[in-house]
Amino acid sequence: MTTVENGSGTRELTGKRALVTGGSRGIGAAIVRRLLDAGAEVLATARSATSTVPEGAAFVAADVRTLAGAEALAAAAHEALGGVDILVHNVGGARPHPSGLAIPDEEWQDALDLNFLSSVRLNALLAPGMRERRSGAIVHVSTAAVVPPAPPFLHYQAAKVALENYSRGLAAELAPSGVRVNTVSPGRTATPGGEATRKHWESLGVGPGAVGTPPLGRDGRPDDIAHAVLFLVSDRASWLTGQVVGVDGGEYPRG
Ligand SMILES: NC(=O)c1ccc[n+]([C@@H]2O[C@H](COP(=O)([O-])OP(=O)(O)OC[C@H]3O[C@@H](n4cnc5c(N)ncnc54)[C@H](OP(=O)(O)O)[C@@H]3O)[C@@H](O)[C@H]2O)c1
């Protein structure tokens, strides 16, 4: 038997078709790589293709902040893959602000569209197919840093908390059809987006967690998050749904 080093040691996702949003770099690219190594056929998406889209993945350009963008992406996924068995909503981010009250209305809308409604819309388009086939796995990528709520990220945190709550509710709705829905909540992870956000945050001189080291002694690597996602979409997690899994080096313990 041929095995590939993918964290599980097997091509356990052979025959599965996966769509990963924000799959061109950072955590998303690591997730794409892990799913490919595990044998899945993977379609990565972002607004533009880059050299960091992992080799072996198909790519489609889409902006997921609008319903039209989600519809175009779902149609492209059907065309490229014939259906989606694994859906990883990794796209997300926001620009920090020194005052929550000063976040402009359009940035609130943008944060909600990017971090929350993009998943709601794409699930509405693609999860019914999973339910019909009575099989599928959905993972939402949130953030461990939803507590304490802090002004630089009130819009981002509110959107991610909404995402986590929605994820639990969708898990309950889809469980009878065998479709599983979970959330992975990363701590600070070395990615292009994470680095840009941290620099901006530190330049504001506000906010908890901007400096220092997580209890496990280092910042996260994209693969730390990708391993958790791989586990959750695999059959090894077949009795696991409606969970929020923090992958954060111990920085944000939750009750
Ligand atoms: N890095 C961290 O420290 C950290 C911590 C906690 C949570 N997270 C979460 O983890 C996820 C990934 O973070 P990351 O740091 O890897 O992000 P990143 O380096 O900024 O990458 C973001 C990805 O999303 C794509 N993207 C951005 N806006 C988009 C849009 N409107 N439509 C479609 N694609 C879009 C980007 O490509 P284009 O720009 O070409 O579109 C890129 O592929 C996010 O949900 C983030 O909130 C990250």
pLDDT for 208: 47
pLDDT for 1: 33
> b/e string for 16-39 if b means 16 or more Cβ within 10 A?
bbbbbbbbbbbbbbbbbbbbbbbe
Residue 87 sits in a domain of what CATH number? Answer: 3.40.50.720
- pLDDT 10s digits, 35-69: 999 999 999 999 998 898 999 999 999 999 999 99
Nearest CA to ligand 1 atom 46: 92
* Overall domain count for the chain: 1
Residue from 19, 20, 25, 198 to probe ligand 1 pocket by mutation (most atoms less than 8 Å from CB): 25
pLDDT for 211: 59
Nearest CA to ligand 1 atom 45: 92
Residue that the structure tokens 């319903």 belong to: 67
34, part of any domain: yes
pLDDT for 200: 79
9, part of any domain: no
Is the pTM higher than 0.85? The answer reads yes
Residue from 20, 51, 189, 225 to probe ligand 1 pocket by mutation (most atoms less than 8 Å from CB): 189
25, part of any domain: yes
Instruction: Find the 9 Cα to ligand 1 centroid distance in Å.
Output: 28
Q: What is the mean pLDDT of residues 148-157?
A: 90
154, part of any domain: yes
Task: Determine if ligand 1 sits within 6 Å of the CB of residue 141.
Answer: yes
Could you tell me how far CA 169 lies from the centroid of its own chain?
17
Q: How far apart are CA 90 and CA 80, in angstroms?
A: 19
Task: Determine if ligand 1 sits within 6 Å of the CB of residue 189.
Answer: yes
Q: Is 80 exceeded by the pLDDT of residue 205?
A: no
254, part of any domain: no
Q: What is the mean pLDDT of residues 2-13?
A: 62
Q: What is the mean pLDDT of residues 143-151?
A: 89
pLDDT for 2: 36
140, part of any domain: yes
Question: What number does the ligand 1 atom closest to the CA of 29 have?
Answer: 43
Instruction: Find the 26 Cα to ligand 1 centroid distance in Å.
Output: 7
- pLDDT 10s digits, 155-200: 999 999 999 999 999 999 999 999 999 999 999 999 999 888 888 7
The tokens of 173 are what? 């709705």
* Residues identified as active-site: 156
Q: How far apart are CA 206 and CA 209, in angstroms?
A: 9
pLDDT band at residue 203 under the 50/70/90 scheme: confident
Nearest CA to ligand 1 atom 13: 27
Task: Determine if ligand 1 sits within 6 Å of the CB of residue 157.
Answer: no
Q: Which domain range does residue 229 map to?
A: 17-247
10, part of any domain: no
pLDDT for 7: 52
Go through the chain and tell me how many residues it has.
Answer: 255
8, part of any domain: no
Nearest CA to ligand 1 atom 6: 143
In this structure, of 20-29, 154-163, 246-255, the range with the lowest mean pLDDT score is: 246-255
In this structure, of 197-206, 225-234, 245-254, the range with the lowest mean pLDDT score is: 197-206
Task: Determine if ligand 1 sits within 6 Å of the CB of residue 65.
Answer: yes
Task: Determine if ligand 1 sits within 6 Å of the CB of residue 188.
Answer: yes
Q: Is 80 exceeded by the pLDDT of residue 246?
A: yes
Q: Is 50 exceeded by the pLDDT of residue 214?
A: yes
Q: What is the mean pLDDT of residues 141-156?
A: 91
Q: How far apart are CA 247 and CA 35, in angstroms?
A: 18
